[in-house]
Structure 1
Amino acid sequence: MVKQTTPVKKNETITLRFEDLTHEGNGVGKINGYPLFVPNVLPGEEAIVKVVKVNKNFGFGKLMELTKSSPERVEPTCHVHCGGCQLQHMSYKLQLDMKQNQVKNVMKKVAHLPHVPIHPIMGMEHPYHYRNKVQVPVGEKNGELIVGYYQKRSHRIVENMDTCSIQAETINEILPVVRQLANQLGIEPYQEENHRGDLRHIMIRTGHATNDVMIVLVTRTNRLPNKDVLIDELTRRFPQIKSIVQNVNEKRTNVILGEKTKVLWGETYIYDKIGDITFAISAKSFYQVNPIQTKVLYDKALEFANIGSDDVVVDAYCGIGTISLFLAQKAKKVYGIEVVPDAIADAKKNAALNGITNVEFTVGQAEKVMPKWKEQGLTPDVIVVDPPRKGCEADFLQAMIDMEPQRIVYVSCNPSTLARDLRILEDGGYVTKEVQPVDMFPSTNHVEAVTWLEKRCRSIINT
């Protein structure tokens, strides 16, 4: 048997012209038809590249020197290489084009729906400082407490990131002060290798509309030295702080938050508004990190749902009720389902906070709750689903098909799993009408999409 060879070898240095982008934003260049994927290069560019990995059908390279630059290349606003923003070297127009093409490609190749209308992606007017939440690990270097994101594919902290171009500017002001005060007050940084120290993570949440701030200090034990001095100094410098919380995580784990949370100062919640709806946000609440684009996303979901005053709606994966409460403004009744009990408690609080009474929230797995509802005679006109990146489980998709809603609105944060699930829904009797991509996370390779499906007429199914 003849061993197949590749046109390049590991550690070889070559000159390469790039012609395309992967969905992750890596440049694609080819040597005799063999593709090499290289970060930080753009279509139309030429570069000297070191080959770092070779597989049978493709390889990976590292940019060594750019010899021809694209007009779509821009100077990154941040030079800290934490791995969080993969696309800062691209113009925002090219970022949007890349994400639009990603949605188009999976609709064609995975969903096998090449003719479904895909609207132009809805981007941001000012695609910076949009993140209303950060959670950064704490470490130690040369006896000093440091904070920063982990470098990509590592547990090495990119230290003392005092500013970030996608974090809210309030967070950029407060985070370095928390770090400096923790150092001055002798709060020991967590040491992952031996599971010692005090402070593991710092989380900061902000309300975009209210400017409220919550600081969450994640510690290994109940110990937090000089916490009263820390609280006094932070609240004196930053009057927008409404809550300072300690979360205790005693486990050796990559999970950030532990089970025990206590308010050290101020309120349990901060507040934010999306449209006309006010939301109470706790330390553990799931809440969209880009509230500006969340309004865009939810408005489109509401449009696609086309809810009438007599319509009954099911909101699966309802979280703290963000979409449910938007839907309730139009519907006769909304039923929300969520597997996390704390989220349902927050959802009920948010409904009461806004005086919305035509919603009902249930703790449970949607694929188990919905068949019971069907047996009890609940027949929703619309189902709205907003699953995690892995998409919907097969039994949930079947439960949704079995309930026979007239319309399904699928809000997705992963085009590939969206396309996979749309194929199943199409085969189950639904027609994909329109897809609207939304850029929720500028400078990153993530893209969201809202999809409208209608139940196919029985006469069409039987022909």
Structure 2
Amino acid sequence: MQQTIQQKKFSQYLHNDHLVEMPYDQELMLKNQALQSYAHDQHWPASCRPVIPSPRPRQYRTLSKRAIVGHGEKILWQRAGSRDQSDRRLEAEGHGALYDFILSFLAKPGYRELTKHVNYVILRGGYETFCVILNVDQMNNVVVRKCKLLAEHLQQADLGVSAAFIYFDPSRSEYYLESERPPAAVNYKKLFGSQLLQLGIRGIKLVYEATAFSQINQSILPAFIDAAEKMLRPQPEQRLIDLYCGYGFFSHLLAERYAEVWGVDVNSEAIKSARLNQKRLHPDRRMHFQALAIDGRVVRRGLPKMDGRREVMVLDPPYQGTEGAVIPALAERCAERVLHIFCNIDRVQTELAQWQDHGYRVRAIQPLDLFPATAHIEILALMER
């Protein structure tokens, strides 16, 4: 019986498939109750704090995508992904009108050649201005010409579009901005606007490529960085190791609190943005960013030499969690504090157990409602030696 309980996923504890229909205070109460039961059954090694709520419980998603179904003038948008992740009520205000505008052109006979090659239309950016990405499986002259024509209409429309791009994805990959592409192929073309998107937090403007990862709920990011900073308790003589750093969200927002920062991410475009942010924001600080796959070998050979400097770590891995040898290799560095962030709550117990096996104690567990109206909860877990 115990084994069966431990295998239950967190979503099974919510007992509700209609979170989007609930008042937000009721949703938070349900999530807090489910978290306490789940943490108890999973034998989490520290008590679970109350969930930090999202300032925007609905219309918070700054990234959405649509695929096209149908033929000719009888075409419709089809939301990709599960219902709770793609409900229109969760997307930023303005996405719906923008999709309707784009569809009005793609349904015209003159756009038929483009329409049949569109994998997805992706919207991202902020809550007031948007970037349009046309993900296509062909990059021929007709497709490019029609994309440019559509882009001209987007520029003229009063819909908040600040930039547009073509993204070449011949494999029609499910994850629409990462696919196997011919190395020599042109895969990314700006139609208009800035090459970079912007994110403003604490009076700091971070920039990143339109194809780079960024959290979709921008409204909660100030609370996210505040929680991380309080848990880490930065000291000016410490070095910060930021793994899976992306464009440097933690690195740059916490840079002034540390003597030195090292960031590592597998995505070379994200690292390029992290370095650009350093030049813009912290040109005189000791900061190093590397594009490397994060595994045990890289942790042992690619990070700075252990020279006696006091060290703390932040790691925010993807949904599938860390590669098997990463945590043991990181533990060898004997960092004073480690903040391990989980976007997959069902990975928490397994990976915290690895830290415990290597001499760390779990001091605090802080949930964050990064994805309201869904069963996904972000977890910040603090470990100390």
**Bin of the TM-score, shorter chain as denominator length:** 0.7 to 0.9
Quote how far apart the aligned CAs of 1:111 are: 4.6
Match of 2:112, SS state, is: coil
Contact 2:73 2:109 (8 Å CA) reproduced: no
- For 2:89, which of 155, 165, 175 is the aligned residue? 165
Partner of 1:364: 292
Q: What is residue 376 of structure 1 aligned with on the other side?
A: 305
Between the aligned residues of both structures, percent identity stands at 20
Q: TM-score, normalised by structure 2?
A: 0.86
| SS in structure 1 at match of 2:211 | coil
Q: Which residue is 2:99 aligned to?
A: 175
What is aligned with 1:198? 117
After superposition, what is the alpha-carbon deviation per residue over 1:34-91, rounded to whole angstroms, capped at 9, x for unaligned?
xxxxx64xxxxxxxxxxxxxxxxxxxxxxxxxxxxxxxxxxxxxxxxxxxxx522333
Q: Compared with structure 1, are the counterparts of its residues 128 and 152 closer, same or farther at alpha carbon in structure 2 (3 Å cutoff)?
A: closer
RCO greater where, 1 or 2, for CA within 8 Å and sep 6 or more? 2
Answer with 1 or 2: which has the greater Rg: 1
Instruction: From the two aligned structures, give the one with the greater strand fraction.
Output: 1
Q: CA distance change for structure 1 residues 359 and 101 in 2, over 3 Å: closer, same or farther? A: farther
Q: Secondary structure at the match of 1:418?
A: helix
CA distance in 1, matches of 2:291, 2:81: 37
Aligned counterparts, 1:20-35, within 5 A? 23-24=10-11
Question: Could you say what secondary structure the match of 1:442 adopts?
Answer: coil
CA–CA separation in structure 2 for the residues paired with 1:337 and 1:236: 40
Within the alignment, does 1:104 sit opposite 2:36 as a pair?
yes
Runs of 4+ that moved beyond 4 A: 25-28
1:213 to 96, 109, 130: 130
AA of the residue aligned to 2:345 = P
What is the identity, as a one-letter code, of the residue corresponding to 1:371?
R
Q: Write 1 or 2 for the structure with the bigger share of helix.
A: 2
Instruction: Tell whether 2:341 aligns with 1:424.
Output: no
Q: Which amino acid aligns with 2:152?
A: D
Compared with structure 1, are the counterparts of its residues 229 and 185 closer, same or farther at alpha carbon in structure 2 (3 Å cutoff)?
A: farther
CA shift for structure 1 position 106: 4.4
Question: 1:134 touches 1:203 (CA, 8 Å); kept in 2?
Answer: yes
2-side partners of 1:94 and 1:340: how far apart? 39
TM-score (norm 1): 0.72
Q: Match for residue 66 of structure 2?
A: 136
**Are the equivalent residues in 2 in contact too, given 1:106–1:419 (CA < 8 A)?**
no
Determine if the alignment matches structure 1 residue 231 to structure 2 residue 151.
Answer: yes
Structure 2 unmatched runs, 5+:
1-7, 182-186
Q: Counterpart of 1:88 in 2: which secondary structure?
A: helix
Q: CA 1:396–1:381 in structure 2 vs 1: closer, same or farther (change >3 Å)?
A: same
2:262·2:303 contact (CA, 8 Å) conserved in 1? no
1:27/1:344 CA distance change after superposition, 3 Å: closer
Indicate the residue corresponding to 2:225 in structure 1.
298
Q: Distance in 2 between matches of 1:101 and 1:358?
A: 44
The Cα shift of 1:281 comes to: 3.1
Q: For 1:390, give the aligned amino acid.
A: Q
Q: Name the CA distance, whole Å, in 2 between partners of 1:303 and 1:321.
A: 18
> Is residue 14–residue 31 contact of structure 2 (8 Å, CA) maintained in 1?
no
**Equivalent residues, number:** 363
- Alpha carbons of structure 1 residues 411 and 252: separation in structure 2 relative to 1, 3 Å: closer
Deviation string, structure 1 residues 150-188 (Cα, Å, up to 9, x no partner): 4749xxxxxxx9x82111112222111011122236333
Q: In 1, are the aligned partners of 2:62 and 2:216 still within 8 Å (CA)?
A: yes
| 1:416-441 deviation per Cα after TM superposition (whole angstroms, max 9, x unaligned) | 21221112212211111111111011
Looking at structure 1, the residues matched to 206 and 246 of structure 2 have their Cα atoms a distance apart, in angstroms, of 12
Structure 1: how far apart are the matches of 2:304 and 2:377?
A: 37
**Residue 391, structure 1, aligned to residue 336, structure 2:** no
Counterpart CA distance in 2 for 1:239 and 1:309 is 45
Give the Cα–Cα distance (whole angstroms) in 2 for the partners of residues 294 and 302 of structure 1: 12
- Say whether residues 1:267 and 2:209 are aligned partners: no
Contact 2:39 2:48 in 1 (8 A): no
The separation in 2 between residues aligned to 1:409 and 1:375, in whole angstroms, is 19
SS of equivalent residue, structure 1 residue 226: helix
- Deviations along 1:83-126, one digit per CA (max 9) or x if unpaired, are xxx5223332342233334443443333542xx23221111244
User: What letter corresponds to residue 165 of structure 2 in structure 1?
Assistant: V
Distance change (3 Å), C-alpha of 1:105 and 1:389: farther
